[in-house]
Structure 1
Amino acid sequence: MRYNKLDLNLLVALDALLTECNISRAGERVHLSQPAMSNALSRLRNYFGDDLLVPVGRHMERTPRAEVLREAVRDVLVRIETSVATQPEFDSRDTDRTFKLFVSDYSMEVLIPHVLAIADAMGSRAKLHLRPQSSNPARDLERGEADLLLIPGEWCSAEHPSRVLFDDELVCVVWSGSRHAQQGISIDSYATAGHVAMQPIEINEPAFEQWIQAGVGAPRDVRAAATSFAVLPFLVVGSELIATMHARLARLVEPALPIKRMAVPFPLPPIHQAMQWHKYRNLDPGLVWLRDLMIAAAQRM
């Protein structure tokens, strides 16, 4: 099919090329050989009158025209997929569909087990591909790389619909044999203590780090940083270190460890955990089912 003399099949190739910036990997992405993808790039260059991809050292980079085209082409393909490829009905008991979810380790621990339990009880055959959070979740959603985001409410994009699933609060977790467990935690002892903290890779620090700094009046003295909230309670055992983390997650691991949950010694806003999906997929029956599943899991949790 052609539009304004452009073979629309080339849009798929263009999207792959502008995403991968590599002819071989782009070909693998759309199941084309390297010669076929090279031919597609040549035709695209001829149509747009632009190189689109140019060699820089050992790599290829997008030209300014390609940068402009990148999001526009992805948007068109997402619209087509939503309008044409989406089935009008969805039965989770008779499907081979795989949903791509971007999930924090926190939601993976406290929410996803309930999601899987409910899905299994209803006989669902849908598959969930659980991926870690990225530095730009809104971009992943807009590019169709994620079907659903499970993210803090403040991370939600204003461009797409979202819904808060549940709330949580932050607590301090200490070793049960520490002086903190015996004497309590004041603002002064919190400020002078050593801490273990979650610091994600290539993602902005959690919003609550700013809340904590405002409450204490200075940055925390972080003695150990990990990429997962789930490991923080293990790291405080046998020390005077403090972990500040979600209460729901702390309650899950508390029975298995010699730790104690304690109140943060200054006020902090509640944590809102939300789900977000693409505005073009608001009526996708499969995603409607998945969103309802998340709501049911949050209520059960």
Structure 2
Amino acid sequence: MRFKKLDLNLLVALDTLLTEQSITKGADKLNMSPSALSNSLSRLRDYFEDDLLTQIGRRMVITPLGENLKVSVRNALNNIESTILVQPSFEPQTTDRIFSIFCSDYTQTVLVPHALEIVGKQKSTARFQLLAQVANNPHEQLEQGKADLLIIPSDFMSTEHPCDILYEEEFVCVVWKHGKIALGELTAEKYAAAGHVLMRPEATKKDFFGTSFAQKYGIKRHVIATTFSFASLPALVIGSENIATIHARLATKMAKVWPLKILPLPFDIPPMKQCVQWHQYRNNDEGLIWLRNTLKEAAINMDIE
């Protein structure tokens, strides 16, 4: 089908090429031969009168026009998918959909198990792909069609897409319960003097606590070790005099199985608002509405013993 002399079938090829920036990877994703995708690129170049992707060394780089087209093409395909291709009704017990959810290992530890429990009780046939928290701009996962939902703190939400608050989370400190640091009150002076282990996402190189609170409150920490995982932080303080500042619900879970002591922060900070976000064009997607409601129910069940 053509629209203003453009073969609309080429939009999918263009979207994939601009996302993967590789003919080989793009062809594999589209289940077609590299030569066929290369031919599609040639036709796109003729239509737009631009290279769109240029070879520099061993990699392909998007041209300025290609960058301008990237979001527009992805939005167009999202709109087509949400208004035309998505089935008008969604049945959890018969669906074959696979939902991709961008979330941290903290979320996978405290929230997702409750969601899967609800899904199991409903005898739903839906499946889930939990995506690692590695993107610098999480909303791009929605816009590029890589994720159906984001579950992230409100500070990292995009203003371009709708979202709901799932729950609020406090922060606490965990230390080795047999260490000297576990004795007595944890003062601001003891906190500042101690060694700290913290989680730093690879994409941002900044930890959430440091980005959101430490700079704002003028708190400096002596960092001993960093990791890519929230769930590993409690283990990294065992046998040492170090501190991990983590989510209260995660600390409670880990303290049940490891020799940890939970201590309140020696200063007041507002709770983190954990949110779910979806693409603006998928407001009426019944499958995502079901999943969002499932997550809201799971958030309530987290605190029920």
The answer to whether TM tops 0.5 is: yes
| Alignment-derived partner of residue 10 in structure 2 | 10
1:74: how far off? 0.9
1:180: how far off? 2.2
- Give the 3-state SS of the residue equivalent to 2:183 in structure 1: helix
Q: 1:68-147, aligned counterparts within 5 Å?
A: 68-133=68-133, 134-147=135-148
CA–CA separation in structure 1 for the residues paired with 2:179 and 2:185: 10
Letter in 2 for 1:7: D
CA–CA separation in structure 1 for the residues paired with 2:201 and 2:13: 33
Cα distance per residue 1:220-241 (max 9 Å; x no partner)? 0011111111111111112111
Point out 4+ residue stretches in structure 1 off by more than 6 angstroms: none
CA–CA separation in structure 2 for the residues paired with 1:182 and 1:76: 59
| Alignment-derived partner of residue 212 in structure 1 | 214
CA–CA separation in structure 2 for the residues paired with 1:258 and 1:20: 45
Task: Work out whether residues 101 and 150 of structure 1, in 8 Å CA contact, stay in contact via their aligned partners in 2.
Answer: yes
TM-score after normalising by structure 1: 0.96
Letter in 1 for 2:214: I
1:106: how far off? 0.9
Cα distance per residue 1:15-35 (max 9 Å; x no partner)? 111112222221222222122
CA–CA separation in structure 1 for the residues paired with 2:145 and 2:67: 17
| Alignment-derived partner of residue 227 in structure 2 | 226
Task: Work out whether residues 234 and 257 of structure 1, in 8 Å CA contact, stay in contact via their aligned partners in 2.
Answer: yes
Question: Over aligned residues, Cα RMSD in angstroms?
Answer: 1.2
TM-score after normalising by structure 2: 0.95
| Alignment-derived partner of residue 300 in structure 1 | 301
Of residues 224-233 and 204-213 in structure 1, the stretch that sits farther from structure 2 once superposed is 204-213
Cα distance per residue 1:219-275 (max 9 Å; x no partner)? 200111111111111111121111111110000011111111011001111111110
Of residues 16-25 and 269-278 in structure 1, the stretch that sits farther from structure 2 once superposed is 16-25
| Alignment-derived partner of residue 256 in structure 1 | 257
1:163: how far off? 0.7
CA–CA separation in structure 1 for the residues paired with 2:239 and 2:29: 49
CA–CA separation in structure 2 for the residues paired with 1:7 and 1:286: 30
1:148: how far off? 0.3
Task: Work out whether residues 212 and 268 of structure 1, in 8 Å CA contact, stay in contact via their aligned partners in 2.
Answer: no
Letter in 1 for 2:246: M
CA–CA separation in structure 2 for the residues paired with 1:287 and 1:7: 31
- The structure carrying a bigger helix percent of its residues is 1
Of residues 48-57 and 106-115 in structure 1, the stretch that sits farther from structure 2 once superposed is 48-57
CA–CA separation in structure 1 for the residues paired with 2:193 and 2:47: 64
1:214: how far off? 4.2
CA–CA separation in structure 1 for the residues paired with 2:121 and 2:103: 22
| Alignment-derived partner of residue 171 in structure 1 | 172
